[in-house]
Amino acid sequence: MLEEVVIRELRAIVGGSFFRNDPETLVTHSYDGTPMQQALPDGVIYPGSTAEVAAIMKVLNQYRIPLISRGSGTNLCGGTVPVQGGVVMVMYRMNRILDVDLDNLTATVQPGIITKEFIAHVESLGLFYPPDPSSMAISTIGGNIAECSGGLRGLKYGTTKDYVIGLEAVLASGEIIRTGGKLMKDVAGYDLTKLLVGSEGTLAVITEATLKLIPPPKYKKTMLAMYTDLYGAARTVSKIIKSQIIPATLEFMDNPTIRVVDDFAKLGLPLDMEAILLIEQDGEMEMVERDIDMIASICRSENAAKVEVAETAEHALKLMTARRSAFTALARLRPTTILEDATVPRSRIADMVLEINRIAAKYQVQICTFGHAGDGNLHPTATTDARDQEEVHRVEAAFEEIFEAAIRLGGTITGEHGVGIVKAPYLEWKVGSAGIDMMRGIKQAFDPHNLLNPGKLFAKETRKRVVIQHG
Amino acid sequence: MAKTELQSNTFQAAPLTSKTEPACSSMANTLKLSLDYDQLTNCMRCGFCLPACPTFRETGVEAESPRGRIALMKAVVDGIMEPNMQFEAQMNHCLGCRACEPACPADVKYGQLIEQAREAVEKHTVSHRWWVKLARKVAFKGVFPYQNRVRMVGGALRFYQQSGLRNFVRNAGLMNLFPAHMRDMEKILPDASDKGVIESIGTRHSADGLRIATVGLFRGCIMDILFTETNINTVRLLTAAGFDVVIPETQNCCGALHAHSGEQSDAKELAKRNIRAFRESGVDWIISNAGGCGALLVDYGHLLHDDPDWREDAAWFASRTIDISKILADQGNLPHTFGSMDEEPMTRITYQESCHLRNVMRSSDAQRKLIRRVEGAEFVELFESDRCCGSAGIYNLTQPEMAGSILDHKMEHVKKTEAHVLLTSNPGCLLQMKHGIEKHGMSDRMQAMHVVDFLYSRLNRDKINVVK
């Protein structure tokens, strides 16, 4: 519960209608895209400017009230669930594109702009912003930055962090800092820009971002390779990378995913295949044609049962639709869909998929796997029912073992969704206790009273590593 | 709501299913009984519905989105929140356009949830103004269920419009007694008729040439008194395309206004009468020319799924209901091109979709296919033609502010098409578009028409260049 005095001060900053604490507003800001996570905030505020954010932060700092900043709440790690109450700050009013600099190839935006609208705008100017999270139709750039979103083009073009070159942010104290700028090179001190990207709202509230833009690829080509043997698909991935070809997209679907996707989208996919790779290359026409030819021959040399190169844009679209409908199809199987993102080095994709299948069988849960094979980022997705507590426990146990397996294979507990509350118990597995201490020290320096998105990243207790029973 | 019962730190690993029983209001109890908990659980809060939702777009407020509204419903069922005036308002703010349904990965039946919620709200409402309550009672219980009374209203309206009474009322400033949005609607109402399609042309019409199938025309209620000509043109287009047309006399209002406003039992009664009327008339297809009605007609199967006496016939009815454009485009034996009636210069046409036609009947290509077949006309896509125009049944009368703001955005896009003709497939949308054209001062260069009327006006019978 917020004291009246706090509410009065907050209302004085943003105006009466932009602070709310009615039950409807609280309930509708108690969740994000993460299944089975919910907690009510004490108030919701909609700032209109950096100055307002700073003033709000000063008030909250004075009264030691937690702040959770958020965009559209599409994240899958519980990153914007207000687990300790406090004030949720919705950035949607700060949604302007401030500047597209055609001389420097940069764009400066406010955090609340919807990613897809931003992308459409830069594309209308003949430029390209590669990060393409699947949620881009509704997620905001600010949210993408906070979570360091990835997407289907991460392999060749990198993720959000590779395009953020400058930030304006409000600290827990209410002070405003600026990092980086329209510069391609800047080594003046620690790189706070990179530190803030992916910091999940725990270090500062991002109020403005300068993003790098690049020229769009001139030409692209899409192909599909199908395998009766999982290892064949995995070896293909490794061999493509080893041959120093970096496709724009290199996506993977396992057999259970192929089955549900085809059942849903009626695409006529081969149901007897163990795995499908969806590959897209873009760039100069000559290079694309050469790469696609080489990739096709690598696929064949690794015993692909069928290699299909899209001859028309419609055909290419159909192939991409197959991959993109994976989430939709899986979501329709059972009431609750838990989409995770264990990531391994690219050479270990097959081992990871086998591990996932073994673990799913062990715990008798349904886990389908698809994902960005090219960057080792897999999405093992459990379909379950939140009301079946016993099954949910089995799913949780299975995921714990999957994260363990990812670490053991040299990977990580999350490739693009972030830690939030969901992965917090496992963070230490990846970064070690000294790593956690270092991260806590950074948090302390930015936010000494632990007001910014508390309860995220750092768990009260780290889970014990599971002992894997071999044989 | 008892604020003290809200715990601010209710974080739990499991969903909020704590069924703490506060002093439950009767609305909360009704919601607990009526809302489909499976559907509430199916919503995984991914947020994919948000960009599709017009009210979320207008406000940017989570509570004004499908995800938000489902969260509110679930919070009430879970006992976390008491439904209050704001809850009611939020349920009523939804346009019911169902654009969120095709966008939903989990296939949540949002349309059914909002109808269940509204039924509970309707039962226990505290917020309706007296005139809304009265108007609803008169319209839903007293007029729509009876076709003869609908026609009497048509007759009264016609008398009002043509006897000089309208001019008197307008000149005397009596319309000023009504809210602005109602004055606006009065201005654009087309000339009503006390004669519907049957009174005008009879119940049976034979196909021109070889008969493809026998179809039954669903004439609608508003459609039949305000757009009698459209119904007549629908019959003429159908016969020209090779269909025998029957218009069963015992059919009545589809019940959409009732179902969408939370009057489920009335909707079911109306549905049963329609099913019987068309079942007995021996038709192969039931033709709808109003997206809003059609969406409920194809939903009869669901509406009556737990009624063993009606389940089978309702499923038959639902599966045989088809939009006029779709049957013309897919099966009709029409000329390959519709000619231009006169020597006018190139006509530019654009098309505003009916939400229910698109999102529930899932038909949006057929209309475009037919329009593109019109000679001497250029088809321009309307930006976001798939977005609701704000009409939404009687929404523009009950929620004038939101409807007005949605309409203004719509008309900005319409203006950019520089079209001469703006086509629609639903009477509510057509009225709203006429209203928009008037409101934005575009009536000198643009007119709104039903697809059927436009196509019929361009049906050049001399030039038979048949596709099939």
- Give me the amino acid identity at A351: D
* A–B interface: beta-carbon pairs under 8 A: 127
What mean pLDDT do residues B438-460 have?
90
**pLDDT, position B194:** 78
| Distance from C-alpha of A80 to C-alpha of A61, rounded to nearest angstrom | 19
Question: A350-353 long-range contacts, Cβ below 8 Å, gap at least 24?
Answer: A350/A230, A350/A231, A350/A233, A350/A234, A350/A235, A351/A234, A351/A409, A352/A378, A352/A405, A352/A406, A352/A409, A352/A411, A353/A230, A353/A234, A353/A252, A353/A254, A353/A275, A353/A378
Six-digit token string for A152? 């289907």
Q: Are A24 and B107 a contacting pair at CB < 8 A?
A: no
Residues of chain A found within 8 Å of residue B1, distances taken between Cβ atoms: 23
- Parallel/antiparallel/unpaired status of strands B285-288 and B321-323: parallel
Q: Are A386 and B14 a contacting pair at CB < 8 A?
A: yes
Q: How many residues does chain A have?
A: 471
- Parallel/antiparallel/unpaired status of strands B377-379 and B421-424: unpaired
**pLDDT, position B328:** 94
| Distance from C-alpha of B99 to C-alpha of B364, rounded to nearest angstrom | 13
> Are the C-beta atoms of A457 and A431 separated by less than 8 Å?
no
DSSP code of residue A308:
E
Q: Are A85 and B3 a contacting pair at CB < 8 A?
A: no
Q: Are A35 and B105 a contacting pair at CB < 8 A?
A: no
Residues of chain B found within 8 Å of residue A38, distances taken between Cβ atoms: 10-12, 15-16
**pLDDT, position A144:** 98
As a whole-number percent, the residues of chain B with pLDDT over 90 amount to 54
- Give me the amino acid identity at B134: L
**pLDDT, position B416:** 96
Instruction: Give phi and psi for A222, each to the nearest 5.
Output: -120, 145
Q: Is A259 left (phi over 0), alpha (psi -120 to 50) or beta?
A: alpha
More confident residue, A467 or A191: A191
Q: Is the pLDDT of residue A178 over 70?
A: yes
Quote the strand ranges of A133-273, DSSP E: 164-170, 176-180, 205-212, 219-227, 249-254
Burial (Cβ within 10 Å: 0-12, 13-18, ≥19) of residue A402: buried
Q: Are A335 and B38 a contacting pair at CB < 8 A?
A: yes
**pLDDT per residue as tens digits for the range B67-103:** 999 999 999 999 999 998 889 999 999 999 999 999 9
Instruction: Give phi and psi for A212, each to the nearest 5.
Output: -85, 135
- Give me the amino acid identity at B207: A
pTM of the model as a whole: 0.87
| Distance from C-alpha of B4 to C-alpha of B85, rounded to nearest angstrom | 18
Range B373-412 burial, b when 16+ CB lie within 10 A, else e = bbebbebeebeebbbbbbbbbbbbebbbebbbbbbebbbe
Nearest by CB to residue B107, choosing from A37, A332, A392, is A332
Nearest chain B residue to A25 by CA: give it.
Answer: B63
> Are the C-beta atoms of B71 and B47 separated by less than 8 Å?
no
Best mutation target, A19, A38, A114, A119, to test chain B (most B CBs within 10 A)? A38
Q: Is the pLDDT of residue A321 over 90?
A: no
Report in angstroms the alpha-carbon separations of A85 from A16, A30, A39, A215: 21, 9, 7, 44
B447-450 sheet: strands from edge to edge: B377-379, B347-351, B421-424, B447-450
Among B444, B412, B135, B62, smallest CA distance to A22 is for: B62
**pLDDT, position B21:** 41
| Distance from C-alpha of A456 to C-alpha of A452, rounded to nearest angstrom | 9
**pLDDT, position B20:** 41
Q: Band of the pLDDT at B290, cuts 50, 70, 90?
A: very high
**pLDDT per residue as tens digits for the range B123-170:** 887 766 666 677 777 777 777 777 777 777 777 777 777 777 777 777
Residues of chain A found within 8 Å of residue B87, distances taken between Cβ atoms: 24
Among B296, B205, B202, smallest CA distance to B249 is for: B202
Instruction: Give phi and psi for B130, each to the nearest 5.
Output: -60, -40
Best mutation target, B46, B78, B84, to test chain A (most A CBs within 10 A)? B46
> Are the C-beta atoms of B231 and B224 separated by less than 8 Å?
yes
**pLDDT per residue as tens digits for the range B340-381:** 655 566 789 999 999 999 998 888 889 999 999 888 889 999
Residue that is written with structure tokens 């080594």 in the block? A187
Q: Residue A164 forms beta bridges with which residues?
A: A211
> Are the C-beta atoms of A406 and A415 separated by less than 8 Å?
no
